[in-house]
Amino acid sequence: MQEQTQNWLMPLCQYLQATSWATAIRTSLWAYPFVQLTHFTGVSLWLGTNIAGDLRLLGVGKKPQTAAHVRDELFVWNWIGFCIVVLGGFLLFSATATSYIRNPAFRTKLFMLVPLALVWHVFVQTKTPVWGQASETPSAGRLAGLIELLLWFCVVMAAVEIPNYNG
């Protein structure tokens, strides 16, 4: 199954890797770290806003605002963070696409954990106005927040493993 996905995606990866921008990122000493900086800044904003929402659903820390307020206040920057993550991630991927696609940790992250966490995040974000109206969140909301927090932790864990599988 994994090999089939790899074979199907390989021509696209080869095309991406041969583009002028991917070559520039790969061959320059400074471009790659700056693209990494873009990706990591986006991840910080994305995870910071996601986990803030989850921790408020879980009732961790002080509670001057309801979970619904926290969600509303952070919504725009949450998705700005996501756009930065995708832009930085796409550029990083393009630079060495053919080795990324062979990497099992990367495949687990991109094709399994990220879609799962993203769908769950949209679900939680959609339900938060209902769960988060009062200061105390119902059990379903707390459980949903905990699951999202763990899913994003798994995404980071898979990302940390990527260099260990580089052939």
Partner 1 sequence: MLHNVGEVMENWGWVHYVSTTAWLYSGISAIHYFTLFITVGTAVLIDLRVLGLAATRKPVSQFAQQVYPWLWGAFWLAILSGFLEFITDAGDYLPDKVFETKMTTILLAVIFTLLVWRSIPKAETDKGGSLSEGSKILAALSLIFWIGSILAGVEIAAISGLG
- Contact map string, positions 99 to 118, toward partner 1, x by CB under 8 A: --------------------
For residue 104, how many C-alpha atoms fall within 13 Å in the half-sphere facing its CB?
Answer: 5
Tokens of 114: 């990220």
Residue 152, interface with partner 1 (CB under 8 A)? yes
Instruction: Select from 10-18, 61-69, 120-128, 131-139 the region that touches partner 1 (CB under 8 A).
Output: 61-69
59 Ramachandran zone, left/alpha/beta (phi>0; psi -120 to 50): left
| Nearest one of 12, 30, 32 to 22, comparing CA atoms | 32
Please tell me whether residue 47 binds partner 1 under the rule CB under 8 A.
yes
Sole binder of partner 1 in the list 6, 26, 40, 138 (CB under 8 A): 40
SS3 58: helix
Q: In the complex with partner 1, which residue's Cβ is closer, 90 or 153?
A: 153
Please, which residue, 15 or 34, has the CB nearer to partner 1?
34
Closer residue to partner 1 (CB): 69 or 102:
69
Q: How far is CA 63 from the centre of its chain?
A: 27
Q: CB under 8 Å to 153, separation ≥6 — which residues?
A: none
Q: How far is CA 79 from the centre of its chain?
A: 11
Query: What residue ranges bind partner 1 (CB under 8 A)?
Result: 29, 32-34, 36-37, 40-41, 43-49, 51-52, 55-56, 60-65, 69-70, 72-74, 76-77, 81, 152-153, 156-157, 159-161, 164
